[in-house]
Structure 1
Amino acid sequence: MNSLLSLLMVAALPVPAAPPAAGLDWYTCGKADDAQCAYLTVPVDWTHPGGEKIDIAVGRRPALDQAHKVGTLIFGPGGPWDPGVSRVTDGYDRFSDTLLDRFDIVSFDPRGSNGSHAVSCDPEQVAAAPYPVLADQQDFDDMLAYNRALWAECERRTGDLWNHADMTSNVRDLDALRAALGERQLTFQGSSYGTLLGEAYAERFPQRVRAIVLESVDDHSSRSTAEFLTAQTWASEDAFDAFVAWCARTESCALHGHDVVAVWNRLYDSAVAGRPDFTPFDLVAITYKRTKDADYDKLADYLAAVDGGAPGARLGSLPVVLPAFCADWSLPVRDYREYAGLLRRAARVAPHTHFPVQVFAVTSCLGWENVVYPQHDLHVRTATPLLLLNSRHDSATGWNWARNVERQLGRHGVLVTYEGDGHGSYSLSQCIRAVTDAYLISLTVPPRGTSCAAGT
């Protein structure tokens, strides 16, 4: 049954009322007829639970088959700071009909985002951000000065939450949500940055885990800034290579029969030379986005058009996600000399794409000191192994990351590979959905080494 037909059938049928969840006052919201919203009140600082409070926005769509409901599935959005509530309440069809039948689907806006006391910064300061790829020590110094001025103003506008948007705080929020929903154990699916939340929860509360799916896996074990950038560079180059191979075998590709690498290098070199319509970072970021979404036809069309004389695209202001990233990653860089060495190392790993878009994360965190949840190897001891899902070619969360997390988990984690391209394999593969649904409903753990062919 396709998802559109399923939604139409669901809309035509009465939805059984879900039992009330302890501690949450639900009200009707969103575009979906059966959607509900609530607010979960939590401390700003979990080490001082009697202090200032904030409200976390929560959304729910009740299970369509309440008589056979397994429980509540909490979805952890990516980003960081992607919205979760709207994905549940506005008819979001991320999950299969099977899961919609058997689980109340719940998600939330993480603290500091959207409906959960969103961080506030000066938009003019944000728009005035320096170019994220640094060229000399003066650029390095200017970025440090900009960062410190921006952070001071963001903290002034946001309040103490600015200092408490880290992963350890989000883990406590997630556990409070589990308890407020009346669930003895957590059933969770995290996507992209949401996998970091699932990993951290499994470490802190292993006895409270029923099942955790990590889709498009973040590896939080990088020992250094160089190791972080190298891993991300590998993923970007691997996805670019997959795009080049697709174009070579696909007649509809706008660059089919052409030397795609030569076209890309020509555009990159022209940006380095100072063409006014786009920068090297713009080209890398657009390539990253299109390979991440496996929009290969759109990427080929864009590259062919710009190579043929059309103007290139410039990115707008990049989002401020600092306290949700910089507090979770220790990525120090002492000076421009060290920074330049990092870029040279990245270029050796990626002779075509040169550097990953995540260089933006490194420059945006220059000077950050309050790292609350630094990188480390995972130590998870859950009764049910965690289920890891990853595409073979994913520019955002590379297969290298997923394999390394599986190694860290040992017998407490199993990776299932989608032998295709793109970010978010549950949405790309019926085979991956079937494996995942069996795991979430029946706790059926697939054999180690399981994979799903591209297109299945």
Structure 2
Amino acid sequence: MAIFGHILGAVLVGAALVVPGGAAADTPRIEWAPCAGDRAVECGVLRVPVDWSRPGGATFGLAVARHRATDPERRVGVLAVNIGGGPGTDFVQAEARGYFGAEILARFDVVGFDPRGTGRSAPVRCSADIVRREPLPTPRDQADFDRLRAYGAELAADCRRRTGPVADHLDTVSVVRDLDAVRAALGERTLSYYGVSAGTLTGQQYAELFGRRIRAMALDSVVDHSLPTGRFLHGQAANAEDAFGAFARWCDAEKACALHGRDVGRVWDGLMARADRGALRDPALPGRVISAFDLATEAHLGGFMEPSYKWFGERIASLESGRPGPRGVVRGQPGPEVREVEHPAPAACQDWRLDIPDYRRWAAYAARMRRAAPHMRTHPDTQPLALACALWPVTSANPQHRLKAADGTPTILLVNARHDPAAGHGWARDVRRQLGRSGVLVTYEGAGHGVYQRTACTRRTIDDYLLHLRVPADGTRCPR
């Protein structure tokens, strides 16, 4: 693990000394003004160090947004939110009031920030021309593998040049230090936190460093950051296959599925075989030939959320018959007019140290994934991440390790769908074990990624915990 800058029990924020549990008089503050996108929400900027090991060095502006508690006399405090690692200021302006219930909005200042490298917080900048040339992450031999390595080196150098020194400090530990600087700047002794997906890793690592500064923490769709390369890849492929199985069982049970009464696995395998031959064409986009990896990507990005099941059944039926049907989900590419784009690899690869030195090792991992996922074959989000980070020419600053919450951390609430294609239930169980007495796990007995809004049970469980510190029994289940 990295050195986190603890000095005699105090933490440096900017150039000011902040004593744990309070804020010094010279702690940097956030100057608030109405947001341009929603004047009912306040926006501001907090200067934080580029490199937290050099708190007196260069700084950048961290974008922050706040929706004030609508019932200030009953205000509980700050609820910091991180909905998957993207720009939190956009979430607070455009989505928070539709996402959270009235009582959360009444009693918390809901605060979001753009994690460093995203949105308005020194965003990563990369050449759109290079991104448009990105090879498919499906190497067939060592020559393909070497081309991926060369591409990664070119992209990394370009992103570093365009983004500047902050590109070297995008790991989650640095994001956690930024979050604690926001807490201090707000004058709060503690904060409550709600994180989803990648935002759960920020929460876990905040608990490692600043557990006593947590009032309550709810982590929804939990990332396990303890896995070595082989277990990471194998487990994610199994998660994708589990999500496919949940969809197939829905089709068996529901007449609304366009494939009801048929063997969904056999239909799907037939499509994958056609894709292998280069014979699977998209009825909704004439001229587009769909690869097996494209097909798996459609399932993962669009088909494995319960509200999308009916659409996905119709999509598969259309692909099989060739008759017109719904459009699929296609990974986007920047348009020809775009010159620079954000790219996730510079940040993600500082958190994942993955060991894939050559094609031979990759082929062995790919074979294991295919055995774990006979229908899906792989996990179409994890495969690109794994190859990109294994070949990224920068050493991970925050490699995988078992979670160890700091002494004094309150009970952390974990919530996860039983069939989550992106963060499988096994991940949540593993993190629960790592937390020991500091964690409880509640399971939504359905499918999808992000469960807060799924049912009255999931919403009530999280709201009661955040508002009233009512910790549910470990192992509680919320039905579909």
Would the TM-score normalized by the shorter structure come out above 0.5?
Answer: yes
| 1:74/1:106 contact within 8 Å kept | yes
Aligned-residue offset at 1:30: 4.6
Aligned equivalents of 1:30 and 1:291: distance in 2?
35
Q: Which of 237, 241, 259 is residue 263 of structure 2 equivalent to?
A: 259
| 2:303/2:311 contact within 8 Å kept | no
Aligned equivalents of 1:183 and 1:292: distance in 2?
40
Aligned equivalents of 2:44 and 2:200: distance in 1?
24
Aligned equivalents of 1:244 and 1:398: distance in 2?
17
- Corresponding position of 2:369: 346
Q: Which of 273, 295, 304 is residue 283 of structure 1 equivalent to?
A: 295
Alignment of structure 1 residues 392-431 onto 2, 5 Å: 392-431=418-457
Q: Which of 366, 371, 374 is residue 390 of structure 2 equivalent to?
A: 366
Return the letter of the residue paired with 2:396.
Answer: V
Residue aligned with 1:113, SS: coil
| 2:352/2:399 contact within 8 Å kept | yes
Aligned-residue offset at 1:274: 2.3
Aligned equivalents of 2:346 and 2:172: distance in 1?
10
TM-score (norm. length: structure 2) = 0.87
Which structure 2 residue ranges, 5 or more long, are not aligned?
1-26, 280-287, 335-341
Aligned equivalents of 1:63 and 1:30: distance in 2?
20
Aligned-residue offset at 1:33: 4.7
| 1:212/1:386 contact within 8 Å kept | yes
Cα deviation 1:3-33 (Å, max 9, x = unaligned): xxxxxxxxxxxxxxxxxx9711111115445
Return the letter of the residue paired with 2:65.
Answer: G
Return the letter of the residue paired with 1:225.
Answer: T
Aligned-residue offset at 1:291: 3.9
Aligned equivalents of 2:477 and 2:437: distance in 1?
18
Alignment of structure 1 residues 117-132 onto 2, 5 Å: 117-132=122-137
- Corresponding position of 2:44: 38
Return the letter of the residue paired with 1:317.
Answer: Q
Cα deviation 1:210-258 (Å, max 9, x = unaligned): 1111100000110x21110111111111111000000111111111112
Aligned-residue offset at 1:290: 2.4
| 2:63/2:120 contact within 8 Å kept | yes
Q: Post-superposition, which runs of at least 4 consecutive aligned residues in structure 1 deviate over 6 A?
A: none
The 10-residue stretch of structure 1 (430-439 or 211-220) with the greater mean CA deviation from structure 2 = 430-439
- Corresponding position of 1:207: 212
| 2:148/2:391 contact within 8 Å kept | no
Residue aligned with 2:418, SS: strand
1:293 aligns with 2:305: yes
Cα pair distance change 1:379/1:62, threshold 3 Å? same
- Corresponding position of 1:170: 175
- Corresponding position of 1:309: 322
Aligned-residue offset at 1:442: 1.7
- Corresponding position of 1:450: 476
Aligned equivalents of 1:118 and 1:77: distance in 2?
17
Q: Which of 24, 29, 35 is residue 23 of structure 1 equivalent to?
A: 29
Which structure 1 residue ranges, 5 or more long, are not aligned?
1-20
Aligned equivalents of 1:348 and 1:76: distance in 2?
35
Aligned-residue offset at 1:186: 2.1
| 1:389/1:416 contact within 8 Å kept | yes
Aligned equivalents of 1:429 and 1:193: distance in 2?
22
- Corresponding position of 2:151: 146
Return the letter of the residue paired with 2:299.
Answer: T
Cα pair distance change 1:209/1:237, threshold 3 Å? same
Return the letter of the residue paired with 2:402.
Answer: D
Aligned equivalents of 1:91 and 1:126: distance in 2?
29
- Corresponding position of 1:76: 82
Q: Which of 221, 225, 249 is residue 253 of structure 2 equivalent to?
A: 249
| 1:43/1:54 contact within 8 Å kept | yes
| 1:216/1:402 contact within 8 Å kept | yes
Amino-acid identity (%): 43
Aligned equivalents of 2:250 and 2:36: distance in 1?
39
Residue aligned with 1:426, SS: coil
Aligned equivalents of 2:48 and 2:304: distance in 1?
34
Aligned equivalents of 1:445 and 1:291: distance in 2?
33
Cα pair distance change 1:28/1:153, threshold 3 Å? same
Alignment of structure 1 residues 325-344 onto 2, 5 Å: 325-344=348-367
Aligned equivalents of 1:230 and 1:70: distance in 2?
42
Aligned-residue offset at 1:418: 0.7
The 10-residue stretch of structure 1 (191-200 or 343-352) with the greater mean CA deviation from structure 2 = 343-352
Aligned-residue offset at 1:159: 0.5
Aligned-residue offset at 1:323: 2.0
- Corresponding position of 1:5: none
TM-score (norm. length: structure 1) = 0.91
- Corresponding position of 2:13: none
1:49 aligns with 2:62: no
The 10-residue stretch of structure 1 (308-317 or 320-329) with the greater mean CA deviation from structure 2 = 308-317
| 1:432/1:452 contact within 8 Å kept | yes
- Corresponding position of 1:17: none
| 1:22/1:182 contact within 8 Å kept | no
Residue aligned with 2:65, SS: strand
Cα pair distance change 1:356/1:449, threshold 3 Å? same
Cα deviation 1:290-323 (Å, max 9, x = unaligned): 2443211111111111111158854333972012
Cα pair distance change 1:292/1:46, threshold 3 Å? farther
The 10-residue stretch of structure 1 (431-440 or 406-415) with the greater mean CA deviation from structure 2 = 431-440
Residue aligned with 1:427, SS: coil
